[in-house]
Amino acid sequence: MLFLGEDLLAWLVLAIGAALALGTLLALVRPRAETPQGELARPPLGRSVVMITIGTVAALWGLASLLR
């Protein structure tokens, strides 16, 4: 018997996709207060939009798989 039944992969895709989208969005909205020397103050916008899109698609795919 699997941990979350037969839908373990769908749950993992939903969780990882949602974490990727939400984490990247929050990093854009609220950057760090202090930035260590040599690091960017904010994440690059283009890469962040791509990561939010990929995460959202993955989360929706996982949700659709669970609801079928």
Q: What is the pLDDT of residues 34-54, one digit of tens each?
A: 778 877 778 889 999 999 999
**Residue-level pLDDT at 5:** 75
pTM over 0.95: no
Residue 58: other Cβ atoms inside 10 A: 20
**Residue-level pLDDT at 31:** 78
3 DSSP 8-state letter: T
Helix ranges, 1-68 (H): 8-29, 45-67
